[in-house]
Structure 1
Amino acid sequence: MSTPPQPTRRAVVAGAAGVAATAATTATASPATAAGSPGSSSRTIKLSVLGTTDLHGNVFNWDYYKDTEFDDSAHNDIGVAKVKTVIDRERAARDHPVLVLDAGDTIQGTPLAYYYAKVQPIGGNVIHPMARAMNLIGYDAAALGNHEFNYGIPLLRTFESQLNFPLLGANAVDPVTKRPVFAPYIIKRIKVDRAPDLVVGILGLTNPGIAIWDHANVEGKMEFPGLVEQAKKFVPELKAKGCDVVIVSAHSGPNTSSSYGDALPYPENAATLVAQEVAGVDAILVGHAHLDVPTRVVDSLVTEGKQVVLCEPLFWGKKVAVFDMELERHGRRWSLVGPITSTTLPTNTAEPDPDVSAAVQEQHDTVIDYVNSVVGTSTVAMSADRAVVEDTPIIDFVNYVQALTVRAALTGADAALPMLSIAAPFNRGASFPQGDVTIRDVAGLYIFDNTLLGSRVTGAQVKDYLEFSANYFKAVDNAGPVAIDDVIRAVTPSAPTGTPDYNYDIVAGLEDRLTYDIDLAQPVGSRITNLQYAGAALDPAQEFVMAVNNYRQGGGGNFPHIKDAPVVYNAQVEIRQLLIDWVVANGEIDPAQFASMDWRLVYDQTPMTIT
């Protein structure tokens, strides 16, 4: 096996923290003119911007949880190795300047990313695999995603130092000075033969939800004001510095909404608002929502006749965004001619780039060996496939380990309270085989890097919590048979494209059973029926300790009460590692130890049949 090459270092543009603006930089490129040749008569030039987002630690077209090549129902492929091939192809097809951007969520999401954050943390000679891969592409800049903060600010800063391009975050600011602690933007000066430079401003915006989702890592260290508010500060600055074009890379979805409701004064998904409300923005590379949006044209509300183009490529490197535009010279400045066009290009027909493959192969192989190591056995096969519509032992296992962990740490009066736990079906493809269970089997059940907390709640709050969780289900008009997809992922005001599986929580008791029906014949807010604890109707005044993850306790999903409930346990331990540690310590996973049928879907009290 060859040793992966170290990334070539060059000057990082605007890499220093704490700056409010960046120095201009120069990119040399061939001109494109109306006549097709450079010269003093150059009147027009073309510019293309290629983009990725939500790569989430994917370098290869590989599913570490299944230990095989990645595939989905649409036969998409994933990973930076294939992305580079597409980007190289698109660069070669153009005889004009091309910029490459990313819209965030880079260093979390796969065992590959986890391993080099927690098992063998980056630093010194240990280079992050995403840094190796992305440096070979030659990005001009990347916006910060919310998942960049999952492993803490020190690791993020180490990752930043390993990149050959800047991480941008105009709305990641110092709590005291309110100045950005990452570069807010860069300015690219593109040389045009015998004509003025084309000056391109690239503004990076991240997600205000970081303040909620990773508050343990950022509280008191960084604040995250709104995208619109910060764009209104920095876009005029870019224009004043002579930018002919302003491109925004925003880790914020195109459909205005917030999973955290009104817990923050700034919306989570605000890319369209930036297009509407901030003068001077020409195009936005969108991230965070995990949608494929080839093109969306948004009318400006502040500049008459102005239209802003949004494009979001599909996550994990499944697609690459392409913006194409033409500009015309007017004296010393350039201005857009006609509309900007955009599309997204699939990577599934591309071969993986050999340079990226060689650079990361050794780390990839190390992680495959790690995730395939056996940590215990299971007495029966278990699957999460139907966990969204029926009580399954594999989700009971998560709740059991969480509840046991919090219970063991409680002291005083809290130790006398009954324990509950919440878990969501994060990965319906997760399963335990009968027999040997590996790290990847357990890690595949809990694919997020959440930590565990315990909060004190009342019976009435538990009822409200369950009612909110039941918003996940669509209304039906009979007890079935009905297909799973016709029951789940209801559209709500905070989830305009459908409630994700990770925002459906299942609540279970430890010492005694918490049982309930979800009656889909009833309206939202009145669906929880036959709610009992220890065989009796739940007492609204009874107190419990409830094990929750940091995403939910921080307000993620905007579930009621839990954000403000008193926290009685917070040891900052990762739930996924707790599950692995439990299997190692106990050796055997036996559903008889933790599984029970505690909830069911019904229609007018009749159990539903879900196919």
Structure 2
Amino acid sequence: MPEAPRLSLRVLATSDVHMHLLPHDYLTGLPSPRFGLTRTASLIAARRAEASACLLLDNGDFLQGSPMGDIAARPQSGRRSAIHPAIAAMNALGYDAAALGNHDFNYGLRALRQALSRARFPVLAANLRMHQGPARWTLITRRIADQHGARHIVTIGVIGFLPPQTVDWDQDLTGAIACDDIVETARTALPAMRAQGAQIVIALAHSGIGALEPSPRMEHAATALAALPGIDVVIAGHTHEVFPGPHIRAGPGIDPIAGTLAGKPAVMPGFGGSHLGVIDLDLTLAAETGAAPALRIAGYKVRCEAVDPALPGLAEVTRPLMRAHRATRRQLGSRIGRSAVALSSHLTLLGQDAGLRLVCQAQRWHIRQVLKGTRWQDVPILSAAAPFRAGGRGGPDHFTHIPPGPLDLRHISALYAFPNRIAAILLTGSDVAEWLERSASLFARVPAGARDIALLDPDFPAYQFDVIDGLRWQIDLSRPARYRVDGSLADARSRRITGLTFRGRPLAPDASFVLATNTYRLASCGLFSPLVRDRPVLVKSDLLCRDVLRAYIHRRRQVAPSDLPAWRFVAQPGSSALLPTSPMAQPQDVLAHAAECAGETADGFRLIRILL
């Protein structure tokens, strides 16, 4: 019996590039050693050259995430008629296909369609229902030589998915699009793809690595998706993690050493061009009666390769970006006002963040103007905001530090990184207390007398940690978290928030408050959804929060927000916790607690020991 033909196929993958196209940090005005697709492009070129057959795929969130993306999406930018810089870079790299991510919808459908109109590769979203939307899947053919030199035409199916919550996160999309369950969509689509000739199927899942067993409308569905018969390879994303790698824990269906989900080869290549996913497939081709030859995966090697900061950018990808780069830098240099104090997020997770307070002040100012003359004008206004640049998966450079002095447009982007829109909702005092309780779930439990406990829950992103300006409170870390990051109750008996006061008096549970926030917080899913459901929405605007911030600073010309913390941890003598923060942070800067330096982490964060 003759030996079955054996073929080799390399799959290269990027994900969550977030408009980090060049190795430049627009928020600091300095070169970036960590990010930049043009540098990743050099690694892509090298890995392509090693393979006889190769696919290059992207897994979504490529249109939003840096000021270049913000400016490219503005109608007044003059760039709407030009090719979008992300698409120009991806065309130059010769991507074979890309999936849409949830953040690609942040600027609205018109901007999305305009950007994608010049793409020379198929853009995919199988679980998206949208008029004149992207394709659900695509079939890619390759002529690949076997071990004897004979060439075979093979057909690879590539299908894309995005989180079903996308429509909820961007409220202005309601009614214009719908997103279905990822796993259920795949069950329906896979037989159709096979019937059209797909011999293997690669899933571009803009979705995190979650439970093996599917649940309705799960956000992190990559593992459950991989378990479906008919899925051969999974590219995961959305959570900005690196897989395979040591930071994702092993679990049912998850092997972070072998790089498999439900036994299928899988990668998640970081974000911002930090890593390149590489999957080498060893395929066998066997004839089947009455059907196209069956292509089976006989073996695989999976890795996520970090991009060396010393790697130069690829010239043919860099060149088409330079005009947009220069325009972005020029616009970001526009002067807005001045700050009399430093605006730093180094200690934001200890309540010290003058920049966050400035955002809260601007939101309150705007909502007060909007409600003037309405029945709500005399209701006290509180203001909630979360830190967007607080380390985490963004690394030790992912903090804001603006020295006293001039404030330019780039500083506004640093203080408010996402294109959220201003909103306001009517809440009771008990609602407000519960809002803070949900935020306090960011912190790990520190039992009495425990030493050097990691302060933060690594699965809880800082952008879910709302601080409400206008109140005072304490957080009791000896008690377990009341909520999980998905908003479900973890311990119904536990409450961490104590001593909550408004204007020096205990907060009345039945008191009425207007909470200035953003439309992302009004989503019907996520951590805060039970608190916004059925509550009166007083303001829901198309105005971006960062534009509110810019108007507030411009009107005042000089601002001087305080970084005195509105909250502190309840004293626990003999207990301590470790906060990972910027290498620029100093223990003596901590105001509410005694603190000392406790070294550095392997990935470059400074550890500050908080003496509770």
TM-score (structure 2 length as normaliser): 0.83
CA 1:314 to 1:195, structure 2 compared with 1: closer, same or farther past 3 Å? same
Q: Does 1:109 align with 2:60?
A: no
CA 1:543 to 1:297, structure 2 compared with 1: closer, same or farther past 3 Å? closer
Instruction: Tell me the SS of whatever aligns to 2:388.
Output: coil
| 1:400 corresponding residue in structure 2 | 361
2:539 aligned to which of 536, 545, 569: 569
| 1:493 corresponding residue in structure 2 | none
1:583 aligned to which of 553, 558, 561: 553
Q: How many residues align?
A: 537
CA 1:210 to 1:122, structure 2 compared with 1: closer, same or farther past 3 Å? farther
For 1:132, give the aligned amino acid. Answer: A
* Equivalent residues in 2 for 1:351-500, closer than 5 Å: 351-410=312-371, 411-428=373-390, 429-477=399-447, 486-488=454-456, 490=457, 497-500=458-461
Contact 2:464–2:527 at 8 Å: present in 1 too?
Answer: no
For 1:243, give the aligned amino acid. Answer: A
| 1:247 corresponding residue in structure 2 | 202
Deviation at 1:192, TM superposition (A): 4.5
For 2:53, give the aligned amino acid. Answer: P
2:301 aligned to which of 341, 357, 364: 341
CA 1:60 to 1:174, structure 2 compared with 1: closer, same or farther past 3 Å? closer
Instruction: Tell me the SS of whatever aligns to 1:591.
Output: coil
Contact 2:73–2:80 at 8 Å: present in 1 too?
Answer: no
Instruction: Tell me the SS of whatever aligns to 1:413.
Output: coil
| 2:520 corresponding residue in structure 1 | 551
Contact 2:338–2:406 at 8 Å: present in 1 too?
Answer: yes
Q: In the aligned structure 1, how far is the partner of 2:251 from the partner of 2:384?
A: 41
For 1:188, give the aligned amino acid. Answer: I
Contact 1:297–1:307 at 8 Å: present in 2 too?
Answer: no
CA deviation profile, 1:462-489 (whole Å, cap 9, x unmatched) = 1111111110111124599x87x8212x
Deviation at 1:390, TM superposition (A): 2.3
Deviation at 1:317, TM superposition (A): 0.4
Q: Does 1:181 align with 2:124?
A: no
Q: In the aligned structure 2, how far is the partner of 1:312 from the partner of 1:113?
A: 23
Deviation at 1:393, TM superposition (A): 2.3
| 2:159 corresponding residue in structure 1 | 203
Contact 2:422–2:516 at 8 Å: present in 1 too?
Answer: yes
| 1:225 corresponding residue in structure 2 | 180
Deviation at 1:395, TM superposition (A): 1.4
Deviation at 1:297, TM superposition (A): 11
Instruction: Tell me the SS of whatever aligns to 1:457.
Output: strand
| Greater mean alpha carbon deviation, residues 419-428 or residues 521-530 | 521-530
Deviation at 1:459, TM superposition (A): 0.5
For 1:487, give the aligned amino acid. Answer: L
Contact 1:253–1:269 at 8 Å: present in 2 too?
Answer: yes
Q: In the aligned structure 2, how far is the partner of 1:112 from the partner of 1:587?
A: 26
For 1:317, give the aligned amino acid. Answer: G
Q: In the aligned structure 1, how far is the partner of 2:374 from the partner of 2:572?
A: 43
CA 1:567 to 1:186, structure 2 compared with 1: closer, same or farther past 3 Å? same
Deviation at 1:299, TM superposition (A): 5.5
CA 1:387 to 1:43, structure 2 compared with 1: closer, same or farther past 3 Å? same
Measured on the aligned residues, the alpha-carbon RMSD in Å equals: 2.7
Contact 1:185–1:201 at 8 Å: present in 2 too?
Answer: yes
Deviation at 1:499, TM superposition (A): 0.7
Percent sequence identity is 29
Deviation at 1:42, TM superposition (A): 8.1
Contact 1:391–1:600 at 8 Å: present in 2 too?
Answer: no
| 1:62 corresponding residue in structure 2 | 24
Q: In the aligned structure 1, how far is the partner of 2:358 from the partner of 2:134?
A: 41
2:499 aligned to which of 530, 535, 550: 530
CA 1:557 to 1:257, structure 2 compared with 1: closer, same or farther past 3 Å? farther
Q: In the aligned structure 1, how far is the partner of 2:307 from the partner of 2:350?
A: 34
| 2:601 corresponding residue in structure 1 | none
Instruction: Tell me the SS of whatever aligns to 1:558.
Output: coil
Q: In the aligned structure 2, how far is the partner of 1:298 from the partner of 1:243?
A: 28
CA 1:330 to 1:471, structure 2 compared with 1: closer, same or farther past 3 Å? same
| 1:274 corresponding residue in structure 2 | 225
CA 1:363 to 1:195, structure 2 compared with 1: closer, same or farther past 3 Å? closer
| 1:32 corresponding residue in structure 2 | none
Contact 2:53–2:144 at 8 Å: present in 1 too?
Answer: no
CA 1:131 to 1:478, structure 2 compared with 1: closer, same or farther past 3 Å? same
2:105 aligned to which of 142, 149, 171: 149
CA 1:397 to 1:87, structure 2 compared with 1: closer, same or farther past 3 Å? same
CA deviation profile, 1:534-566 (whole Å, cap 9, x unmatched) = 221111111111011121221464224124421
Instruction: Tell me the SS of whatever aligns to 1:448.
Output: coil
For 1:242, give the aligned amino acid. Answer: G
Deviation at 1:597, TM superposition (A): 4.2
Contact 1:253–1:286 at 8 Å: present in 2 too?
Answer: yes
Q: In the aligned structure 2, how far is the partner of 1:249 from the partner of 1:505?
A: 32
Q: In the aligned structure 1, how far is the partner of 2:225 from the partner of 2:174?
A: 26
Deviation at 1:121, TM superposition (A): 4.7
CA deviation profile, 1:349-375 (whole Å, cap 9, x unmatched) = 421001111111121122112212322
| Greater mean alpha carbon deviation, residues 160-169 or residues 431-440 | 431-440
| 2:600 corresponding residue in structure 1 | none
Instruction: Tell me the SS of whatever aligns to 1:238.
Output: helix
CA deviation profile, 1:240-287 (whole Å, cap 9, x unmatched) = 1221110011100112499xxx9x9401110101012x2110000111
2:476 aligned to which of 516, 519, 522: 519
For 2:304, give the aligned amino acid. Answer: T
| 2:486 corresponding residue in structure 1 | none
Deviation at 1:449, TM superposition (A): 1.0
| 1:35 corresponding residue in structure 2 | none
